[in-house]
Amino acid sequence: MELKIWPIDATYTIVGGVPEVRIFAISEDGKRVVVVDRSFRPYFYIDCPDCDAHLVKTSLSRVAPVETVEVVERRFLGRPKRFLRVVAKVPEDVRKLREAAREIPGVLGVYEADIRYYMRYLIDKGVVPCSWNVAEVEEAGRLGHLPQYVVKEWKGVEAGFPPALRVLAFDIEVYNERGSPEPARDPVIMLAVKTNDGREEVFEAIGKDDREVLRRFVEFVKTYDPDVVVGYNSNKFDWPYLAERAKVVGVPLRVDRLGGTPQQSVYGHWSLVGRANVDLYNIIEEFPEIKLKTLDRVAEYFGVMKREERVLIPGHEIYKYWNDPNKRPLLRQYVLDDVRSTLGLADKLLPFLIQLSAVSGLPLDQVAAASVGNRVEWMLLRYAYRLGEVAPNREEREYEPYKGAIVLEPKPGLYDDILVLDFSAMYPSVMMKYNLSPDTYLEPGEPDPPEGVIVAPEVGHRFRKSPVGFVPQVLRELVALRKAVREEMKKYRPDTPEYRILDERQKALKVMANAMYGYLGWVGARWYKREVAESVTAFARSILRDVIEYAKKIGITVVYGDTDSLFVKKGGDVERLIRYVEERHGIEIKVEKDYAKVLFTEAKKRYAGLLRDGRIDIVGFEVVRGDWCELAKEVQLKTIELILTSRDLAQARQSVVRYVRDVIEKLKRYEFNLEDLIIWKTLDKELDEYKVHPPHVAAALLLKKRGYKVGKGTTIGYVVVRGGEKVSQRAVPYILIDDIKAIDIDYYIEKQVIPAALRIAEVIGVKEGDLKTGRSEKTLLDFLG
């Protein structure tokens, strides 16, 4: 019979000495099923031009069972090559066989011996996660509570929209009276669940006995049987804590689809067999504009829940709310607000992650946790198999710097009527046009091939003109797929679910195509080639310079240029420039933004603009960085807003001075919230590795003394109090502050508020003295208008 399924999870186990691939999926009629295959065997390649296959098999069989060793013709970096394909009996033997193969005389290399078995299966069989796959199967009873089918043949992937998924969000609160919570000591006092079909519950401990909390959670998961489980920072906190706590209290945490317990897997994520466990924090880490990534702030950023509309309780005070019966309802509301925020974020982010899973080939539970480089690599491994390419190995490499994109020095000031022209997919376009790929690169001294070469400007690297390289082939397909998806989008209204799914699909294709350049310059990549990445930026610089020259030639004023965009004065023949770029360089260019005003400081990549619709767009200022307190960021944001929305420079200066003086006066009267003065900084190494102690390290050491677990990756929140000479001596964790009058107000005025405002306001002539005295003196700018 033919079965159409949408895979959620893939794994394998050994049954009777034979590896069995298991693919957990949703069938076309909405049933949860598992498809198994016991016919596939793990394998790898040996590069040994003179080796005899029979002798190699005899040699390797002394180490572990080998099914076959056969001679195969494949390609390696675009060139035809003879390999020996070694097929093992079970995945666990591959490592031993790989090491033994390297010791055989004449072996030049061993390849693809590090590809995970079930991923190897998905690649070779063309099975794509989060997509509709068709297979010829036979019914084979049940596995657990799921109908089981044995696959006979995979028939390919069909287009279609995702099925209705059962999504469960969860969040835990832990009693933590003494520093960081310890699973061996501190109970899970509340655990909230919320599903995308409207179910919502909070499981509460009885006193400090949390066994019933865990039991009810396990029962809820079993009964609801979610396809996707979402949490926020759940891979680093909730799951490891629950797993350890369950062992301590003797309640088996049987929450996967076969009644097993969660296990930590690749990329640090926790695996729930048969389900997709997605930690939304993993993907939020890729949003640099969200500096403080707490759930409440992220939920507000995405429009899920405003901070003023929810209960906020500092983590170190949760136990107080549990101990006080009058406050416990607030704690209950707090955990509900958290789980509602988590499910709301899932609604925003899961559609994109589903498409990213389908494009990369990584299962849904791994795609958020994997790095951008790993996502690209798994996608490339699929293309490599299809094209008959054997993948290079990963190697330990030192980072090799190379010259990046061109960035013009902006002339500081306020500009009216500015258009931003964006070169669509500049780097992918360059790689496709000039055939830049590891397999087309010619080493120094290698003769020019008959088909001719392309030479990169400035750096002089040479590339074959033909045939089309591996990376350009992949990019062409991604671009063609994205074009097809965008055409399909035209069939639906923007407010339909189908349109949204297709939009997320085209975004995923764009993200993966744009990530290709960075991947080639990533030292951890299989297809790493610094010369390719270096040539891409060299061509991009050359193109941008040429376009700038042409713009000047036809009377367009270029104000600023950065990587793949130009800021030009409105009024010139922009359409002519766009035609020139598309005809001369084969790159699509379009007007991305239309600013009424743009403010440039002296620094590259730092500007703010007022868009025609009234929104303010900020790039590169401290507003989106974390080494300033929230008040300083707010001051800077307001300063930008006042400058961009004032009718002239004189009004802008007066408004800024008046506003900053008002902030200073309120500080002096202690009219502020403590959280607005917290400075957040992340530890980039372990505490004992610091030779000097900057403020956040000094604060971390104080936390450690109080019983908190702190180390590499911990984000420390501290405030500066009165006292010692150095800031490090006065940095105190905010959770240890009992009286806000201990705060060093002068520090925040002199080192936070005034510098934050001046970084912007000095461009329009505001001086430090103005902010301190409250008077705005006339400057040359006033007389020049």
For 175, the token pair is 């009693």
Q: Which of 598, 536, 752, 600 lies closest to 663, judged by CA?
A: 752
Range 761-773 average pLDDT: 89
User: What's the pLDDT tens digit per position in 728-761?
Assistant: 999 999 989 989 999 999 999 999 999 999 988 9
Rounded to 10 degrees, the C-alpha dihedral 50/92/130/125 comes to 40
**Quick one: average pLDDT of 648-667?**
94
How sure is the predictor about 779, in pLDDT bands with cuts at 50, 70 and 90? Answer: very low
Coil/strand/helix, residue 629: coil
Determine the pLDDT at residue 782. 44
Q: pTM here?
A: 0.89
Q: Residue 4 has which token pair?
A: 């159409």
Whose tokens are 């006995």? That residue is 209
Say how far apart CA 368 and CA 354 lie, in whole Å: 10
Residue type present at position 80 = P
Whether 411 has a pLDDT exceeding 90, the answer reads no
Tell me if residue 526 falls in helix, strand or coil: coil
**Residue 756, CA distances (Å) to 648, 660, 768 in order:** 22, 10, 11
pLDDT tens profile 205-228: 999 999 999 999 999 999 999 999
Q: At 776, is the pLDDT very low, low, confident or very high (cuts 50, 70, 90)?
A: very low
Cα–Cα distance, 623 to 636 (Å, whole number): 7
Q: How far apart are CA 785 and CA 781, in angstroms?
A: 6
Range picked from 255-259, 599-603, 632-636 for highest mean pLDDT: 255-259
49-78: average pLDDT: 96
CA distance 279 to 281: 5
Q: How confident is the model at residue 780 (pLDDT cuts 50, 70, 90)?
A: very low
Q: Per-residue b/e over 127-155, b at no fewer than 16 CB within 10 Å? A: bbbbbbbbbebeeeeebeebbbbbbeebe
Assigned token pair, 431? 């790689």
Given this model, what pLDDT does residue 781 score? Answer: 43
The answer to whether 435 touches 468, Cβ cutoff 8 Å, is yes
CB within 8 Å of 450: residues ≥ 6 apart:
none
Amino acid making up residue 756: A
SS3 category, 67 = strand
Confidence of residue 775 (pLDDT cuts 50, 70, 90): low
Name the DSSP letter for residue 437.
-
What does the radius of gyration of the chain's CA atoms come to, in whole angstroms?
30
User: Residue 779: what residue type?
Assistant: T
Average pLDDT over residues 56-65: 96
Q: What's the mean per-residue pLDDT of the chain?
A: 93
- What sign results for the dihedral spanned by CA atoms 178, 698, 675, 303? negative
Please, which contacts does 639-642 make with residues 24 or more away whose CB atoms are closer than 8 Å?
639/756, 639/757, 639/760, 639/761, 640/599, 640/608, 640/616, 640/760, 641/616
- Read off the tokens for 451: 């088909």
Asked if pLDDT for residue 627 goes beyond 80, the answer is no
Report CA dihedral (340, 344, 347, 350) to the nearest 10 degrees. -90
Secondary structure string (H, E, C) spanning 230-254:
EECCHHHHHHHHHHHHHHHHCCCCC
Residue 449 pLDDT > 70: yes
pLDDT exceeds cutoff 50 at 490: yes
Q: Is the pLDDT of residue 777 over 70?
A: no
Q: How confident is the model at residue 410 (pLDDT cuts 50, 70, 90)?
A: confident
Strand partners, 201: 193
Give the span between the Cα atoms of 382 and 675, in whole angstroms. 48
pLDDT band at 773 (very low <50, low <70, confident <90, very high): confident
* The two structure tokens encoding residue 767: 């001086």
Instruction: Tell me the per-residue pLDDT of 88-120, one tens digit each, with 9 for 90 and over.
Output: 999 999 999 999 999 999 999 999 999 999 999
Query: Residue 594 is encoded by which pair of tokens?
Result: 């239309």
Provide the pLDDT for residue 564.
80
Strand ranges across the sheet with 679-682: 679-682, 715-720, 731-733
Residue in 728, 730, 697 with CA at minimum distance from that of residue 715: 697
DSSP string, 252-321: ----STTS---EE-GGGPEE-TTSEEEEHHHHHTT-TT--S--HHHHHHHTTS--GGGS----GGGHHHH
Q: What angle do CA 454, 538, 384 make, to 5 degrees?
A: 60
Residue 53 has pLDDT above 70, yes or no: yes
Task: Provide the pLDDT confidence category of residue 624 given band limits of 50, 70 and 90.
Answer: very low
pLDDT at 409 over 90: no
Cβ atoms within 10 A of the Cβ of 627, count? 11
- C-beta of residue 165 within 8 angstroms of C-beta of residue 227: yes
Give the C-alpha separation, 146 to 479, whole Å.
39
Q: What is the pLDDT of residues 273-326, one digit of tens each?
A: 999 999 999 999 998 778 778 999 999 999 999 999 999 998 889 999 999 999
Give me 399's structure tokens: 């980072």
